[in-house]
Structure 1
Amino acid sequence: MNIIGNIIWLVFGGVLAAIVWFLAGVLLCITVIGLPFGLQCFKISFFVLWPFGKEIELGHFGAGGLIFNIIWLFVFGWEFAIAHLIIGGIFCITIVGIPFGLQHFKFAKLGLIPFGAKIR
């Protein structure tokens, strides 16, 4: 079932979402200061390509991860989280779209706190 969900996901917006995260990573990696944030965007973009069957574990960060998460939250994270919450809400209007909406809600969590998150 995960393979079918992932294939449908790719066709109906997964590739576009991954491209957006990847482009955000490229823009952030232009500067040296944005490099760690851009690398997180790359990590998330690969996760967005094949999300079904994967889970996110938040909270495995140290002091540096906490500082980066706070900076990320105020500068970049809230935009990504709101976008994924809106898209997830639109998907959840129909019964067929609920699994895809739940994936976007998962991305919203990851968009808020990417540093220290483990994808398994």
Structure 2
Amino acid sequence: MGCLGNLLWFVFGGAVTGLSWCLAGCLWCISIVGIPVGLQCFKFAQLSFFPFGKDVQYGGGAGSFLLNIVWLLISGLPLALEHLVIGGVMCITVIGIPFGLQHFKLAKLALMPFGAVVY
């Protein structure tokens, strides 16, 4: 079921949200200081392309917290709002609820990506 869910996800919006994460990663990689942040964006773009069957566990220390604050101010809010809006639209129908829940999972990840581990 996860394979079918991922295929439907990719066709009906996952490609767009994954490309949003890739764009954020490319923008961060423009500067040398932002390359680690950009690489993290590319990792989460992979999750955004195919989220079914994967779980995110949050953790991290003070360094992750500080980087999350900088991330939130620069790139986190637009990505989180994108996922929240699309997730809300998906939850209008019963069939779209699993897809909306995946968008909500990605919205939380967009707010706090550093220190998070994808399983």
**TM-score for both structures, normalised by structure 2:** 0.94
Q: Shift in Å at residue 36 of structure 1?
A: 2.3
Percent same amino acid among aligned pairs?
A: 53
Determine if contact 2:24/2:75 at 8 Å carries over to the other structure.
no
User: Any idea what the Cα deviations from partners look like across 1:78-116, whole Å, max 9, x if unmatched?
Assistant: 121111111100000011111111010000010000001
* Aligned alpha-carbon RMSD (Å): 1.1
Q: Shift in Å at residue 39 of structure 1?
A: 1.5
CA distance in 1, matches of 2:58, 2:35: 21
Q: 2:108 corresponds to which letter in structure 1?
A: K
Determine if contact 2:86/2:100 at 8 Å carries over to the other structure.
yes
Q: 2:45 corresponds to which letter in structure 1?
A: S
Structure 1 gaps, min length 5: none
CA distance in 2, matches of 1:13, 1:108: 14
Determine if contact 2:77/2:110 at 8 Å carries over to the other structure.
yes
Does structure 1 residue 46 correspond to structure 2 residue 43? no
Q: Secondary structure at the match of 2:63?
A: helix
CA distance in 1, matches of 2:104, 2:89: 11
Structure 1: which 4+ aligned runs deviate by more than 6 Å? none
Residue aligning to 1:85: 84
**TM-score for both structures, normalised by structure 1:** 0.93
Map 1:20-59 to 2 at 5 A.
Answer: 20-59=20-59
User: Bigger shift: 24-33 or 100-109?
Assistant: 24-33
Q: How many residues align?
A: 119
Structure 2 gaps, min length 5: none
Does structure 1 residue 71 correspond to structure 2 residue 70? yes
CA distance in 2, matches of 1:23, 1:82: 16
CA distance in 2, matches of 1:75, 1:49: 22
